[in-house]
Amino acid sequence: MTNTAATKSYDDAVDIPRWGPVVVMALAMLMVSLEMSLSAVTLPSIGQELDVGSGAAKWVILAYALPTAALAIPAGRWVDRADTRLVFLTAVAAVGLTSVLAALAPSLWVLLVARVLQGATGAMVVAIYMPVVAASVPARLRGRALGYVATIMPLGSMAGSSLGGFVADAYGWRPVFLIKLPVLLVVWWLGARMLPRGRGGLPAPDRTLLTDVLVLGGAVTALLLAFDRIESGAAYAAGALAAVAAGLAVVWTRLRSSKPIVALVKRPAFGLPLLSLQLTGTFVGLSLFLLPFFVADVLHASAELIGLAMIFFVGGIAVGSPLSGRLTDRHPPHLVAGLGGALTLAGLLSTLSLDAHAGLADLSWRLAVIGFGQGVFGAPNNTAMLAATPPGMIGTGGGVGATVRTLAFTVGPAIASLAYGLGEGGARGFRTGVIVLAVLQVGGLLAVAAGWVAARASAGNAERPTAAGPVARG
């Protein structure tokens, strides 16, 4: 049961923006996103010191990503009836403690346990992202707030990856898990000072929440593992895991606790932006799979070329995100999101003209366009979903969005891998993959357009008088 009345009154009371909590939340989200990029640079040295192969070392990343995605929705449900300030302080402290545990791990299994715990604490941080923004900034400025967060995260993540690589080369993998501790201490202190005290405390998880963790979390985990097996070429294992995921999903939809979430997703004002997020998020299949193979197999160049070109992608996001936030506060979110989606599609299609003579400049400007498009797309799409979420379910809605985003970032490379194989690799396989991803982007744009139509229709119905008088807004 959510504390809807309390949450709604608190939300309605927001008139003067308080940017401090938004900045604190941005830094906390940066710390969570850093876990993926920082751990990626440690894999070779982890494998060497702990005497494990690359396949086993890969689980250092999966052990973090799986619980972060699987627990996002249950964590969001829990946050909706908890004190977000206490959740924030507990989660940030837990991120630090689990980072120390990871750095001291004497074996791979202890390291994996630490990473699972890190992922669980990361899910808690992600779950309070939207509630903190909603409680700190009035609706008229939320696009700007979400745009600022989206700007800080990629820039910090890129800088963190570079620093992590330097530390790993100079001192080994263990200090990499510790380099963020000073920032975590600052974030915890700022959160204690700037986040307002709420009601609800830290309620004990009830039976329905624990059931959601097991059933829904199991379904998400099985689905993510299925796509991971697709990339590895294990078709039968992928099929079995997908069947398990489908079965658990069916079981979950029959639970009473799933009804509010299913109803939220079925609302066009929320479900269509969510669908757009799922479809457009698959663009990462280009940067995480297609381009690396194109550079290696067609250009016969090193991975350093991709690394340099990706700087322009991150730069595009950093430029597009704050601009998008300001546009979203002045224009319909669906219109701004559609512009971002169209730019992403244009950038993706431009890669079809890449050939064996392509260089850094050819890759860079295309990735800059895609990054700018994604920067423009994110804030308005999140704003539309936040606006469509009932006040007592903001944490839950944020968890649903985080889960779908993770699924999109997993599905994209898997689909790109399949298309690359069907095109027999090389330049032909690259173009086949780009075309498939472009079709998905078109689907995302159609979802944005459908959401705009639904939003306009809903606004028209709200203003249309009835026999009993005008319909109340909200």
Q: Which residue's entry shows tokens 């705009």?
A: 452
CA distance 315 to 26: 18
Longest Cα pair distance anywhere in the chain, in angstroms?
76
Over 186-219, what HEC string results? HHHHHHHHHCCCCCCCCCCCCHHHHHHHHHHHHH
Rg (CA), the chain: 22
pLDDT band at 296; cut points 50, 70, 90: confident
Residues in the chain: 474
Measured between alpha carbons, how far is residue 94 from residues 97, 185, 448 in Å? 5, 11, 38
Q: How far apart are CA 320 and CA 368, in angstroms?
A: 10
Average pLDDT over residues 343-352: 96
Cα(105)–Cα(122) distance, integer angstroms: 19
- Region 387-392: mean pLDDT is 87
Q: Does residue 220 contact residue 69 with C-beta atoms inside 8 Å?
A: yes
What pLDDT was estimated at residue 33? 80
CA distance 200 to 219: 29
**Better-predicted residue by pLDDT, 38 or 252:** 252
> CA-CA distance, 301 to 364, in Å (whole number)?
15
- Looking at residues 15-42, what average pLDDT do you find? 83
Local confidence band at 406 (pLDDT 50, 70, 90 cut-offs): confident
DSSP bridge partners of 466: 469
> Could you tell me the CA-to-CA distances from 60 to 106, 115, 230, 331, 339 in Å, in that order?
14, 7, 19, 43, 37
Question: DSSP letters along 319-337, please?
Answer: HHHHHHHHHHTTS-HHHHH
Q: How distant, in Å, are the alpha carbons of 43, 101, 115, 172, 415 from that of 167?
A: 13, 18, 19, 7, 34
Which of 53-57, 197-201, 403-407 is predicted most confidently? 403-407
DSSP string, 267-317: SHHHHHHHHHHHHHGGGHHIIIIIHHHHHHHTS---HHHHHHHHHHHHHHH
Residue 418 CA to residue 398 CA, distance in Å, equals: 30
Model confidence at 11, in pLDDT bands (50, 70, 90)?
very low
Quickly state the pLDDT bin for 277 (edges 50, 70, 90).
very high
Out of 107-116, 266-275, 462-471, which region has the weakest mean confidence (pLDDT)? 462-471
| Nearest residue to 90 (alpha-carbon basis) of 193, 191, 208 | 191
Cα–Cα dist 426/432, whole Å: 10
At 54, the pLDDT band (50, 70, 90 cuts) reads low
Tell me the average pLDDT across 366-377. 94
Please check the confidence at residue 264 and state whether its pLDDT lies above 50: yes
The gap from C-alpha 256 to its chain's centroid, in whole angstroms, comes to 27
Q: Distance (Å, rounded) from C-alpha 237 to C-alpha 230? A: 8
Q: How many CB atoms lie within 10 A of CB 15?
A: 7
The residues with which 470 forms a beta bridge, in sequence order, are 465
What is the third-level CATH fold of 17-204?
Growth Hormone; Chain: A; (1.20.1250)
Residue 116 CB-density burial (10 A; 0-12 exposed, 13-18 middle, 19+ buried): middle
Is the predicted pLDDT of residue 452 greater than 90, yes or no? no
pLDDT (0 to 100) of residue 465: 54
Q: Which band of pLDDT confidence, cut at 50, 70 and 90, is reported for residue 10? A: very low
- Answer whether residue 403 shows pLDDT above 80: yes
Asked if 17-204 and 266-460 have one fold, the answer is yes
Write out the H or E segment, with its range, that includes residue 171: helix 142-171
- Full-model pTM: 0.83
The whole-angstrom separation of Cα 432 and Cα 208 is: 45
Sign for the CA dihedral angle at 248, 450, 147, 314 comes to positive
What tens digit of pLDDT does each residue of 209-239 get?
A: 889 899 988 998 898 888 878 767 788 888 9
Choose the weakest-confidence range: 275-284, 305-314, 319-328: 305-314
pLDDT above 90 for 171: no
* Side chain identity at residue 449, one-letter code: A
What proportion of the chain, given as a percentage, has pLDDT over 70? Answer: 90
Per-residue pLDDT at 445: 95
pLDDT at 437: 96
CA dihedral 420, 426, 428, 433 (to 10 degrees): 30
Which percentage of the chain shows pLDDT scores above 90? 38
H or E element, residue 470:
strand 469-470
Rounded mean pLDDT, 195-208 = 83
* Whether residue 442 has pLDDT greater than 60: yes
Please state the domain extents for the chain: 17-204, 207-254, 266-460
pLDDT exceeds cutoff 90 at 455: no
pLDDT at 468 over 50: no
111 neighbors 174 (Cβ within 8 angstroms): no
Tell me the per-residue pLDDT of 70-109, one tens digit each, with 9 for 90 and over: 898 999 999 998 898 999 999 999 999 999 999 999 988 9
The H-assigned helical ranges of 329-472 are 333-350, 360-388, 394-422, 426-463
Please state, rounded to an integer, the average pLDDT across all residues of the chain. 85
Looking at residue 52, what is its pLDDT?
76
Q: What pLDDT band is residue 463 in, cutting at 50, 70 and 90?
A: low
pLDDT at residue 261, as a whole number: 93
CATH architecture label of 266-460: Up-down Bundle (1.20)
